[in-house]
Amino acid sequence: MHIAILAHENFPHRAKTALGVLRYADYEVAAVLDRDQAGASVSDFVDDVQDAPIVAGMDDVDDDVDALLIGIAPIGGGFEESWREDVTTALERGCDLISGLHYFLAEDDEFTALADEHGGEIWDVRKPHDDLTVADGVAADLDAEIILTVGTDCSVGKMTTTMKLARDARDAGYDAAVIPTGQTGIMIEGWGNPVDRVVSDFTAGAVEEMLVEKADEHDYLFVEGQGSIVHPAYSAVTCGILHGAMADQLILCDVADRDVIHGYESFEQPPIPTYVDLYENLAAPVSPSTVVAGALNTYGLEDDAARDALDAFEADLGKPATDVIRYGTDDLLEVVL
Amino acid sequence: MHIAILAHENFPHRAKTALGVLRYADYEVAAVLDRDQAGASVSDFVDDVQDAPIVAGMDDVDDDVDALLIGIAPIGGGFEESWREDVTTALERGCDLISGLHYFLAEDDEFTALADEHGGEIWDVRKPHDDLTVADGVAADLDAEIILTVGTDCSVGKMTTTMKLARDARDAGYDAAVIPTGQTGIMIEGWGNPVDRVVSDFTAGAVEEMLVEKADEHDYLFVEGQGSIVHPAYSAVTCGILHGAMADQLILCDVADRDVIHGYESFEQPPIPTYVDLYENLAAPVSPSTVVAGALNTYGLEDDAARDALDAFEADLGKPATDVIRYGTDDLLEVVL
């Protein structure tokens, strides 16, 4: 499928979804829309993802694209009216629309009318399906090895770690799949439950449902974690995923040079061993899970500093760890598979 | 306000909401509807709540009631069609309708038409309001003492303990209020956020919002807890309440003679000290909370057995504990206030 990605005024550093899709999805990206960077290329900014021209708007996308994907998420998750012209242009060209915004584009009368008229479909990936329910508590009985990424905070690399481990495991000949739980993961994989948007009572159930569906098809299921068990706002989602997934193995994800909770700077992060104890002790009464390895995001650090940070993290953790982007996944896969 | 309570075929033992309302709400209950017990009285079954006649249906309710309250919750939370005649009769008489079902009665066309025609209102207490959002992480800064009930399992007495502590504290001259988080608590108090029904990302935020609203008005806020931190399905809600409330004090609620998770019998409950560690250790990185006392539900036990169970619970806990229904709240209030 050929797509265009909307990332106005935010590419690349505040366009986490766009980058995730460029890096991991099977879509062929015909163009990235960013009116501030028009004329440049993706490769001018990021070198380890597929390249694409950056253009000012849909009118500059020559290619016959199948879909427009919203690749940024403003604080609050609302729709920016300055994007409307690009969205309507795409729909008028018969494109599908893929969005992970909190505001559902299928509830916009103009967009639905255009989609109906021109045969496009609107996929709000953050809209949970109607049949979700409470967990049965059965994930531990499934016939697949379940590996869950857990974090010290939000935005530390849980999605990236999950995607890379599953892909590299597949490349090495193992039958591995991703269980996507957030909007970017769902866009990349093309399916999944947006666990942070389901009814709170169904949090664990939304994860369990996906595992039950995929356990017979694959040997290894890599569950994309969310948030952190010590996050003042999002810990409920983290806890529901931990107990819904009943993972055999946990991988603790952290980011170098951050000591407080992102966006909640008055909350200090506890020491790494405290995280390990919290995740393992909270999992144990429901289903024992062990932190077997770590993944440290050293983005932006010089090589020496990155190596020092990783050594320190590995010492704190007492388990093998790596930066999956900088050093690859071999060390982690050796532990996990 | 005068109300009738619908509890067909389930009064008293499977009518937790009806009993909670009879015991704690300010409503005057004109009648309980249970076609299996028509002709009896509430006091034939339960002796520590307000009395009311039990009748077969709304036609037998002579009193000029202001509302019909749905006092039972079938598994799945659906509406039973066998209740429809009573509900339409009530609406035709101009009554309001109060329901905590998962199925929203305000989405039933017949009910809304009758309510519009006869001037009644339909209050689905489980429908979250539209302005909920993520927590800011501010509950610890509020100028009120926050006391949260936490549990070993669902249905162990968290709501009852919360209600009784707050009422007895008020009777003793303290300025105390309840922060209701579940359908029965919300019905009793007449307001509140149904925390198990909000978007999972807003779980902590839904609790925090209520605390922020009430902290300036009261000295003591008793937060109604939900579920259990080791529940295979509902732990997400428990975790969100724990971090959203940032309670100063926790009261661990347990029920005698239960060793496994209710409805999930393959899951053994961990020892009491493990619960204490889990709740305290999970709270600590966000805001320190201490388990200061326990509440044991000894319903159905003979006096000697109840006393033995309480002694054992108190020894395991290493803190003062009581059964707030059987022995009153004095011991607990001495610790908490």
pLDDT digits (tens, 9 = 90+) for A253-264: 999 999 999 999
Whole-number pLDDT of residue A137: 98
| Distance from C-alpha of A21 to C-alpha of A2, rounded to nearest angstrom | 12
A305-315: per-residue pLDDT in tens? 999 999 999 99
- Assess if residue B280 is contained within a domain: yes
Whether residues B243 and B147 fall in one domain: yes
Scanning A82-121 for CB atoms below 8 A from B yields: none
Mean predicted lDDT score pLDDT of chain A: 96
Question: What value does the mean pLDDT take over residues A33-52?
Answer: 94
B20-65: per-residue pLDDT in tens? 999 999 999 999 999 999 999 999 999 889 999 999 999 999 878 9
Whether residues B154 and B66 fall in one domain: no
Which residues in chain B have their CB less than 8 angstroms from residue A202's CB?
A: 200
Closest residue to B204, CB basis, from A197, A229, A235: A235
Question: What value does the mean pLDDT take over residues A22-40?
Answer: 96
Is A229 strand, coil or helix? Answer: coil
Domain span at residue A76? 2-124
- Assess if residue B133 is contained within a domain: no
Whether residues B120 and B145 fall in one domain: no
Whether residues A180 and A264 fall in one domain: yes
Scanning A191-210 for CB atoms below 8 A from B yields: 195-205
Whole-number pLDDT of residue B77: 77
**Chain B nearest C-alpha distance from A104 (Å):** 15
Q: How do B264-268 and B260-261 pair as beta strands?
A: antiparallel
Instruction: Tell whether A271 lies on the interface with B, counting CB pairs under 8 A.
Output: no
A120-169: per-residue pLDDT in tens? 999 999 999 999 999 999 999 999 999 999 999 999 999 999 999 999 99
Domain total of chain A: 2
Which residues in chain B have their CB less than 8 angstroms from residue A231's CB?
A: 243, 286
Which residues in chain B have their CB less than 8 angstroms from residue A127's CB?
A: none
Whether residues B50 and B196 fall in one domain: no
DSSP-assigned letter for residue A337: -
- Assess if residue A241 is contained within a domain: yes
Whether residues A18 and A69 fall in one domain: yes
- Assess if residue B314 is contained within a domain: yes
A197/B200 CB distance under 8 A: yes
| Distance from C-alpha of B253 to C-alpha of A204, rounded to nearest angstrom | 23
| Distance from C-alpha of B47 to C-alpha of B220, rounded to nearest angstrom | 29
Q: For chain B, what is the HEC assignment?
A: CEEEEECCCCCCCCCHHHHHHHHHCCCEEEEEECCCCCCCEHHHCCCCCCCCEEECCHHHCCCCCCEEEECCCCCCCCCCHHHHHHHHHHHHCCCEEEECCCCCHHHCHHHHHHHHHHCCCEEECCCCCCCCCCCCCCHHHCCCEEEEEEECCCCCCHHHHHHHHHHHHHHCCCCEEEECCCHHHHHHHCCCCCHHHCEHHHHHHHHHHHHHHHCCCCCEEEECCCCCCCCCCCHHHHHHHHHHHCCCEEEEEEECCCCEECCEEEEECCCHHHHHHHHHHHHCCCCCCEEEEEEEECCCCCHHHHHHHHHHHHHHHCCCEECCCCCCCHHHHHHHC
Whether residues B118 and B148 fall in one domain: no
Whether residues A80 and A215 fall in one domain: no
B237/A137 CB distance under 8 A: no
Whether residues A105 and A185 fall in one domain: no
Question: Where does a domain end: A90, A124, A158?
Answer: A124
CB atoms near residue A163 (< 10 Å): 24
B193-207: per-residue pLDDT in tens? 999 999 999 999 999
- Assess if residue B132 is contained within a domain: no
User: What is the domain-level CATH number for residue A46?
Assistant: 3.40.50.720
Scanning A22-81 for CB atoms below 8 A from B yields: none
Q: Are B70 and B98 in contact (CB under 8 A)?
A: yes
Question: Where does a domain end: A93, A124, A155?
Answer: A124
Whole-number pLDDT of residue B76: 73
Chain B residue at shortest CA distance from A234: B201
pTM: 0.95
Question: Where does a domain end: A124, A155, A186?
Answer: A124
User: What is the domain-level CATH number for residue A247?
Assistant: 3.40.50.300
Which of the residues B104, B239, B281 would you substitute to probe the A interface, choosing the one with the greatest number of A C-beta atoms within 10 Å? B239
* pLDDT at position A102 over 90: no
Whole-number pLDDT of residue A202: 97
Whether residues A178 and A325 fall in one domain: yes
- Assess if residue A129 is contained within a domain: no
- Assess if residue A39 is contained within a domain: yes
Residues in chain B with pLDDT values less than 70:
none
Whether residues B92 and B148 fall in one domain: no
- Assess if residue A134 is contained within a domain: no
B200/A195 CB distance under 8 A: yes
Whether residues B22 and B73 fall in one domain: yes
Band (A74; pLDDT cuts 50, 70, 90):
confident
